[in-house]
């Protein structure tokens, strides 16, 4: 379960920012996670409170926005929605899509005290 290490990384980042930006508590943590990021959202939600215990992120509300997949077609030079990692181009049917969004995972913003 790599979601545990993801949570540890998030909490470490929040601790570091708390020291440099002088806040004592994270009230709301907003994440953006891509459809193809390979993250089990429920496992992340399960692990986060455990990892955050005793830190500035303890009791933080976690909001997750799922980022849909889009790809760029090298053949017809257009953007297409991707329902699966290896989707075909919706314009020309080509299999040559390069993922342009949907693999990201980032802290979008935080509300702090």
pLDDT more than 70, % of the chain = 99
Per-residue pLDDT reduced to its tens digit, 66-104: 999 999 999 999 999 999 999 999 999 999 799 999 999
Predicted model pTM: 0.88
92 is known to lie in a ligand binding site: yes
Per-residue pLDDT reduced to its tens digit, 35-74: 999 999 999 999 999 999 999 999 999 999 999 999 999 9
17 is known to lie in a ligand binding site: no
CA distances from 90 to 61, 83, 102 (A): 38, 11, 17
7 is known to lie in a ligand binding site: no
Question: Cα(106)–Cα(32) distance, rounded to whole angstroms?
Answer: 5
2 is known to lie in a ligand binding site: yes
Query: Which domains, and CATH codes, for the chain?
Result: 3-68+102-112 (3.30.2320.50)
Per-residue pLDDT reduced to its tens digit, 17-30: 999 999 999 999 99
């Amino acid at each position: 379960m790599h979601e545990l290490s993801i949570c540890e990384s998030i909490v470490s980042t929040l601790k570091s920012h708390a020291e440099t930006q002088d806040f004592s508590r994270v009230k709301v943590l907003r994440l953006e996670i891509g459809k193809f990021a390979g993250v089990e959202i429920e496992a992340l939600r399960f692990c986060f409170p455990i990892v955050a215990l005793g830190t500035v992120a303890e009791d933080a509300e976690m909001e997750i926005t799922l980022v849909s997949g889009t790809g760029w077609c090298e053949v017809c030079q257009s953007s297409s929605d991707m329902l699966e990692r290896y989707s075909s181009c919706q314009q020309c049917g080509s299999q040559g899509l390069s993922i342009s969004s949907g693999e990201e995972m980032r802290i979008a913003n935080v509300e702090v005290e």
